[in-house]
Amino acid sequence: MISFLKKMRAYLVKVFYTNRAKKVVKHYQEPLGVYNKSSFTPNTILGKNTNFNGMVINGKGLVKIGDNFHSGKECMLFTSNHNYEGDAIPYDSTFITKEIVIENNVWLGTRVIILGGVIIGEGSIIQAGSVVVSDIPKYSIAGGSPAKVFATRDIDHYNKLKNEGKYH
């Protein structure tokens, strides 16, 4: 009975947060799965087969997330920062806004933070707890604070799976 109740709760959470995302984002493609508490902005564009296990997208900048995306829990994307070069110290009432682009087939581990102005290349994996402050090239495995590339995927294997249409 407990197993059934857990499955029912997970299903209801998914339906609630997925439907909420669909009402907020600028554009999305099915399938879309939001499996845990998440918040999006009206400047968010989602590709097909995007999956969120807990995401906060904050700011007024554009966020583009490609196909077959997966995130761990408690990830955050920030597209706006206080303007520290404005009319007051430490910052004024204006914001610096930059877009974030996450290309196809990217996987973010738990508690990844991505700042505005970043492009994460196709097929990349970002290690849990990382802070991404600069672009990550295609097929990279990156981690740390700030995130640095420490490995590259087997590109032949990646392309084989991609050509066979084997997506999770």
**Residue in 98, 121, 37, 90 with CA at minimum distance from that of residue 147:** 121
Cα separation of 21 and 73, whole Å?
16
Cα separation of 151 and 125, whole Å?
10
CB 78 within 8 A of CB 59: yes
Q: How far is CA 61 from CA 23, 38, 57, 82, 100, in A?
A: 18, 17, 10, 13, 8
Q: Please name every residue paired with 65 in a beta bridge, in sequence order, or none if there are none.
A: 46, 102
In the annotation, is 82 catalytic? Answer: yes
Catalytic residue among 27, 82, 157, 168: 82
CB 61 within 8 A of CB 97: yes
Q: List active site positions.
A: 82
